[in-house]
Structure 1
Amino acid sequence: MPITAEQQAQIDEERARSQPTRRAVAPGMEEHLYTAYPVLDHGFVRVIDYMGDDAAITQAARVSYGKGTKSVSNDEGLIRYLMRHWHSTPFEMCEIKLHVKLPVFVARQWIRHRTANVNEYSARYSILDREFYIPAPEHLAAQSVVNNQGRGELLEGAEAARVLDYLKADSARAYDHYEEMISDEGQAGLARELARMNLPANIYTQWYWKVDLHNLFHFLRLRADAHAQYEIRVYAEEICKLVADWVPFAYTAFEDYRLGGATLSDRALDCVRRMLAGEEVTQESSGMSKGEWREFRATLDGPAEA
């Protein structure tokens, strides 16, 4: 259960309350406000607030560029122009505030994006819930033999069962000791700020995360990528759905130029030109390293068929 009955009651109350406003609203995002969308086994993402829409992006761009944008006939065309030419400032006019519940080890990856405002649940002040991320069997994989930070073949049978037993038992034991250390039943009890250090990285935390659209797109470009770790990628994919309804023109341009696009080096472009001219280009004649060539060919060939 990603949210408690008490949290759901609060969400229902917030969604039932509305008031007139003169500020710009995005109908798609209004439908998402406050709703908690489940992620992983106990996590969720929900929109607390947002500012701006597609029109806010083009409004800011036209203030900045003035007559230079008159050749762009519509807002969608202008947004695609801005995305195509890496004009980031207009996208900073939109902001979103999310409430996210996520495992601590995912939060440690997420916080590497230092361009947002974050306020996290305090384990110095409050007691963390007994909720841990335990991977589904289809996400238990061995270490990749070609990527030091990736996964390889799935674990199966007795080995998979052994790993799951360890994860569940270690999580439960650590939390039992946490509860015992902070207990005040006839003892002083260890301070919460010290007792928390015994908890595993798969325990859930929560935070409010506020970010502008430009930096959100940067986050999504990296974390919604197929090479991102599964546990953070599923959060990014859920956020993508929200952004698509919030700023549909901007998200479509982002999907086209960033998620679905590719950046080629000068050397790679030279190889493409030589190939188009009919030359057979190999790794040895390309001037690229084996790793560069492998990535270049993957870009040209597209994703491998399952």
Structure 2
Amino acid sequence: MNQLIHTSMMAMRIQKLDHYTLRTEHVEETRRFLEEVAGLRVGPRPAFQFPGYWLYAGDTPLVHLATLEKDNPELHRYLGDRATGTGPGAIDHIAFRCADLPAFESRLNRLGVTYTPRTVPQLREHQVFVKDPNGITLEFIFAMDEAASWRTDASGVALPAASRDTDRGDGIDSMRTALETAPARPLLPTERLAELGLTVPPPPGAVAAYVPWTRIGNLVTTSFQLPWKEGKLAYVGSVGSDLTVEEAYQAARLCALNGLAQLQQAAGDLNKVRIVRIEGHVGCREGFSDIPAVLNGGSELINAVFGDKGRHARTALGHVVMPLNVPVMLGFWAEILE
């Protein structure tokens, strides 16, 4: 019998986290937090007879939100009575594996979200911890070769400013403090691109009777950039019908890279560029309203590459018909810093 149990257990393998379900009194607040901070999006959900959302990462419904209504028999029948399910244990935190740490830090700073960073060299990971509206800790994991804004102590914990001013008497802390508090040269856009593992492609040519960019004085404007990749459109179709928000987000990143190619050609040096404005247009089904989430693909890449010189104004419009059936196109206004 023991052998049978052992054999059966050995046959089963957990492959990955499928989803987690969170029951909360703050459904709407939690939904907004996960959309804005984690970049998840609301997607299809079965016709349950109780309020809630499924939030997707790509095509995977990763987080299931449900209410804590006390007088909803369908909720209790499906998920059980929350009060009777408590015990001596508790979830410590929930972790997501992610990419593009500079863009994520930029998002947290823009939203004013407090976070605790850490680096674990043994795992080759950067880790960022935040609290959701329910007090649950969420961990966002990034590869250690991504650029992090923090420095760490020997254990990998990010150093608070106060700890940099202490000295153990052996001169080590004084040297560390001097190095860490010395004015650091901000990374150049080309250096940030290298740290992000991105390469500026050749600038796409015009496909009709126009030029890819024009310059008047120190102002450069580009024509709308499409999601070209190696001479072909990498994405076509309508967002919300043919493409997911995540796919359109990636298309916007391609548009932004092509925009960098045009600006680099116009300025002669991408490090002389300051982004002023992005005009974003999304091809989508009628009634689709998640246009900002799509355009964030371009905006967050620009912010990650240019830092403070990438902060820009933006136009966000949706259309049911787009040139060449593309899901997104971006136009850029930039200043050339001489």
User: Considering the TM-score relative to the shorter chain, is it more than 0.5?
Assistant: no
Normalised to the residue count of structure 1, the TM-score between the two structures is 0.25
Normalised to the residue count of structure 2, the TM-score between the two structures is 0.23
The structure where strand makes up a greater share of residues is: 2
The structure where helix makes up a greater share of residues is: 1
